[in-house]
């Protein structure tokens, strides 16, 4: 299904024209497709139950950091999603959206005592612990509260995800997780602590993976470790293989979710049949980008067209504070004119840039566009790591967010007013 397509020469989100959204809510505005969110989540859910596998054997935990809008979380919660969080704030967002804390896993290398207390007070499913100091702190906090914390250790398998270095998380040089060669001793320590319940094992090697070979390699190393733990009577209840499946931004051809999960479950099922017949081991996933990335676009208006000797610039009202990925990762986002054919405009090659006072404020380079001042553009594949990475640099209010459901459009976050940006500040007496 095409969630963003031209209808009668105008780009639509499902059945709603982006021009009408811009007219009603202004620009820049993030626009999300509920149908895309639904279909992308169900690709995971359906693959988990393929072949009659019980739904209780797996749990898809959407990675909240990729897009944490309450309406996005609401849609996924209603579909049965669990949630992978990396802060106390994200936990409160999940709860505000109606999410079940017993389907929440808490990742991240820097959990504070307050965040631990918050998560323990809501009885979350599991903490993904990333260091021995964190393990001891969690044991201490849980003891102070008279609770036991369920934990997985995030094991770093030193597998190269072959992705951008900023989003690679599974190599020995990365800050994440416990080194594979130290994991067994770490589990022994965890099993000895009075307020810790060893529940599972976690692994996440990176993001925007187009090939599942690194994921399957990491799985094999995790399985080897589970066998070693079993030999020491440390029994696990779940295996969390993380997320990371990529999406198409330009001409990438990512592995299909169904194909990846089919191969993954084939390995897990064969292993369980050989060594752990009849013993349940739930499989958890942490997808984010592959669910929400291509479910959203960033809508913006051309303010000026500047022509120079070596470069032409299309200056738009969106900027690096709205969509950080190009400036941060040199990431590619497709750009479409909302009106398919502007008969009054000649085609030129433009760098599409924003109004922020930084040379790094660019959103696309060397794109052929036939546009005029005042035309609307849509940046594709902007549903993940768009609004969640937005800032107020240059005292710019963050964009509005709209969810489209067929013919209906809903404002799910209003545009920030300038007064909102300094409402928490105060002057000296």
**Which residues does the annotation place in the binding site for pyridoxal 5'-phosphate?**
244, 286-289, 385
- Specify whether the CB–CB gap between 129 and 190 falls below 8 A: yes
User: At 19, phi and psi to the nearest 5?
Assistant: -60, -40
Helices (H) and strands (E) in the chain, counts: 12, 21
Q: How many other CB atoms sit within 10 Å of the CB of residue 79?
A: 15
CB of 40 closer than 8 Å to CB of 32: no
Contacts of 121 (CB under 8 A, 6+ apart): 145
Residue 341 is a catalytic residue: no
Distance CA 271, CA 26 (A): 54
Residue 316 and residue 363 in contact, taking contact as beta carbons nearer than 8 Å: yes
Enumerate residues 6+ apart whose C-beta is below 8 A from 346.
370
Residues 6 or more apart in contact with residue 246 via CB below 8 angstroms: 163, 207, 208, 209, 210, 252, 254, 255, 289, 290
Please give the span between the terminal C-alpha atoms of the chain, in angstroms, as a whole number: 59
d(CA 101, CA 393): 34
Of the candidates 61, 186, 203, 357, the residue annotated as catalytic is 357
Is 130 buried (19+), middle (13-18) or exposed (0-12) by CB count in 10 A? buried
| Bridge partners, residue 367, by sequence | 350
Q: Which residues make beta-bridge pairs with 59?
A: 284
Q: Tokens 């433009």 map to which residue?
A: 350
Are the C-beta atoms of residues 202 and 193 closer than 8 Å to each other? no
Residue 359 is classified by DSSP as: T
- In eight-state DSSP terms, residue 98 is T
- Please give the distance of CA 364 from its chain centroid, rounded to a whole number: 22
Give the annotated binding-site residues.
244, 286-289, 325, 329, 358, 385
State the helix-helix crossing angle for 257-275 and 213-231, rounded to 10 degrees.
20
* Contact call for residues 77 and 99 (beta carbons, < 8 A): yes
Q: Which residues contact 176 (CB under 8 A, 6 or more apart)?
A: 109, 130, 154, 156, 169, 170, 204
Active site residues: 357
């Amino acid at each position: 299904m095409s969630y963003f397509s031209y209808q009668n020469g105008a780009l639509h989100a499902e059945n709603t024209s982006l021009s009408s959204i811009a007219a009603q809510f202004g620009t820049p505005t993030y626009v999300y497709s509920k149908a895309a969110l639904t279909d992308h989540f169900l690709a995971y859910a359906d693959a988990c139950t393929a072949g009659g596998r019980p739904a209780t054997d797996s749990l898809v935990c959407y990675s909240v950091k990729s897009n944490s809008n309450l309406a996005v979380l609401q849609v996924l919660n209603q579909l049965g999603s669990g949630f992978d969080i990396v802060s106390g704030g994200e936990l409160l967002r999940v709860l505000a959206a109606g999410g079940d804390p017993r389907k929440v896993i808490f990742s991240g290398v820097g959990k504070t005592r307050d965040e631990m207390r918050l998560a323990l007070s809501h009885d979350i499913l599991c903490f993904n612990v990333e260091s021995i100091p964190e393990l001891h702190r969690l044991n201490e906090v849980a003891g102070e509260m008279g609770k036991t914390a369920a934990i997985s250790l995030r094991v770093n398998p030193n597998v190269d995800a072959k992705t951008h270095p900023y989003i690679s998380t599974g190599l020995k040089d990365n800050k994440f997780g416990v080194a594979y060669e130290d994991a067994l001793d770490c589990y022994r320590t965890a099993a000895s602590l009075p307020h810790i319940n060893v529940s599972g094992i976690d692994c996440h090697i990176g993001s925007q993976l187009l090939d599942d070979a690194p994921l399957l390699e990491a799985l094999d190393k995790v399985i080897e470790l589970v066998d070693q733990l079993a030999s020491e009577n440390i029994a696990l209840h779940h295996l969390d293989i993380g997320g990371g499946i990529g999406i198409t931004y330009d001409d990438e051809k990512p592995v299909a979710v169904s194909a990846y999960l089919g191969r993954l479950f084939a390995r897990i099922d064969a292993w369980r049949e050989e060594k752990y017949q009849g013993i349940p081991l739930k499989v958890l996933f942490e997808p984010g980008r592959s669910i929400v990335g291509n479910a959203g676009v960033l809508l913006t208006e051309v303010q000026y067209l500047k022509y120079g000797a070596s470069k032409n610039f299309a200056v738009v009202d969106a900027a690096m504070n709205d969509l950080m990925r190009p400036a941060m990762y040199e990431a590619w986002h497709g750009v479409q004119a909302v009106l398919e054919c502007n008969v009054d405009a000649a085609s030129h090659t433009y760098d599409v840039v924003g109004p922020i006072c930084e040379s790094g404020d660019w959103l696309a380079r060397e794109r052929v566009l036939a546009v005029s001042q005042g035309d609307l553009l849509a940046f594709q594949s902007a549903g993940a790591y768009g609004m969640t990475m937005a800032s107020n640099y240059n005292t710019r209010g963050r964009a509005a967010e709209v969810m489209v459901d067929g013919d209906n459009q809903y404002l799910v976050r209003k545009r920030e007013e300038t007064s909102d940006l300094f409402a928490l500040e105060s002057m000296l007496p």
